[in-house]
Structure 1
Amino acid sequence: MADNVNKVTQDTIEQQRALLLSLRSKLVGQRHTLPYTIYKDEEIENLLVKQPHTIEELSKVKGFPDGGKRLKGFGEAILEVFNNTSKVKDIDVKCENGELEIVTVLRKMELF
């Protein structure tokens, strides 16, 4: 897969970075763990370079092996960041009955 960074504006990359950091921060809070156990800053930068849009593409990014906990646990939320950057306002993490639920918060649409 070719790196898609040339097709993405710097503003979009900054939005994606902010969303990935927000997701990590909320996962850290829910899991009561350290940030690097969710994903490291280096892995965020790799994600921003690779711009994955499918689980298969994400599984090729260092730190997100096919069948791994990260891919299964919050891979879809990471893909949402890259597939719908302009629509995603934030990502929320809730815990119900010991199960993590990751919810995408969308921006309000303006019709006119």
Structure 2
Amino acid sequence: MGWTGVDFDGTLADYLPSQGNQLGRPLAPMVQRIKTWLSAGKEVHIFTARAETSSGVIAVQHWLLAHGLPKLAVTNVKDSQMTALWDDKAIRVVKNTGKPCYVCAGVNCFSAQEGKILTDC
């Protein structure tokens, strides 16, 4: 069946570079989406660079509990069981082509923010 990955900073919780390691406020639409998935029996993992350290994993798991979510797996490892990734930095690529998808949700364009390339779809 597989699992769905949800990025933490900027996807599940708000994030500003100035906040450093401080965990941001929950983003209600994603919190609700995760609750809906879990109610439907789907497996969800939090996919974050914070999983580089055990203290980062523990901090995210405490944050989840404090904001009405269960203690989910927290990882930075993409394995063959991951079926989807929800992330504010991802750019969708058409499988086996190496080319970015330009038709996601009807509109998909790239923008640069602080030297990073992001999608605006």
- TM-score scaled to structure 2, two decimals? 0.26
Question: Larger C-alpha radius of gyration, 1 or 2?
Answer: 2
Q: Which has the higher helix share?
A: 1
Normalising by structure 1, we get a TM-score of 0.28
